[in-house]
Amino acid sequence: MPKSPGVVRIAALGDIHLGRAAYGPPVQTIFTDVAERADILLLCGDLTDRGEPEEGRQVAKALAGLGLPIVAVLGNHDYESGQAPELKRILCESGIQVLDGDAIDLHGVGFAGVKGFAGGFGRRALGPWGEEIIKLFVQEALNEALKLETGLARLHTERRVVLLHYSPIEGTVEGEPKEIYPYLGSSRLEEPLTRYPVDAVFHGHAHHGAAEGRTKTDTPVYNVSLNLLQRINPDGLPFRILELPVSGGLPD
């Protein structure tokens, strides 16, 4: 893929689920293609199937020697075993930047990311009313949105990109059974995006959703679940490439 001067190429995918038997193509093949076509790799959660440290070591091994900056957020599967802190440590020690309300500047592009959480969208979103457990559930979504806003506030770059696991809009979960919409994302994650404009948002989690959508302020949102990308583009690349022009960006 020819490289244009002053352009940063960002590859994004999610839901690798490394550790699940016979899931998709060999990840090493995917990552080799990424290295040839992108300057930065984003991983939008569910890097592992059960969040076990050994799976994290498999991810680190698959990405070793890629030669690109790698930015990631964790997904719900990465929390399954209750060992998310250890998993994050393994990934970070391998050189992967795992964001959780943090921000990072790479090649003139600012990245902010959180896992996100569930709760639903718009008027159908779950409200903090009734039993204490419901209030705690809603508070978790609010906490994730606040972490995202904190990360965005730290960015001072001209170009900004957000990565999540859960969706911030209903548009990119369309195609999933409506009964599970509330478990696929939360419109509370969209609120920081209206206060801090960004160039693009990437997420995973909705394996059978839609590939693209827009926030209320017309920011593009891309669902980069590996399963989805393979389904809609069976003969193409199982990741999305975004090119951003950046002042003083990478040379040709």
Comparing C-alpha atoms, which of 166, 112, 176 is closest to residue 141? 166
Residues 2, 69: Cα–Cα separation, whole Å: 19
Question: Please, which pLDDT band fits residue 166 given cuts at 50, 70 and 90?
Answer: very high
Q: Is 206 helix (H, G, I), strand (E, B) or coil?
A: coil
pLDDT for the residue numbered 23: 46
1 inside domain: no
pLDDT for the residue numbered 250: 59
pLDDT for the residue numbered 78: 98
CB 169 within 8 A of CB 187: yes
Question: pLDDT digits over 72-88, tens only?
Answer: 999 999 999 999 999 99
Helices 53-63 and 27-37: angle between axes, nearest 10 degrees = 40
- Beta bridge partners of residue 13, listed in sequence order: 43
How far, rounded to the nearest angstrom, does the alpha carbon of residue 232 sit from its chain's CA centroid? Answer: 19
47 inside domain: yes
CATH of the domain at 91: 3.60.21.10
Q: For 180-192, what is the mean pLDDT?
A: 97
252 inside domain: no
Helices 53-63 and 84-93: angle between axes, nearest 10 degrees = 20
The pTM of the full predicted model, rounded to 2 decimals, is 0.94
Residues 160, 197: Cα–Cα separation, whole Å: 8
251 inside domain: no
Question: Please, which pLDDT band fits residue 237 given cuts at 50, 70 and 90?
Answer: confident
174 inside domain: yes
Number of domains in the chain: 1
CB 195 within 8 A of CB 145: no
133 inside domain: yes
pLDDT for the residue numbered 24: 46
pLDDT for the residue numbered 126: 94
Range of the domain at 207: 7-245
pLDDT for the residue numbered 187: 97
What share of the chain in percent tops pLDDT 70?
94
228 inside domain: yes
24 inside domain: yes
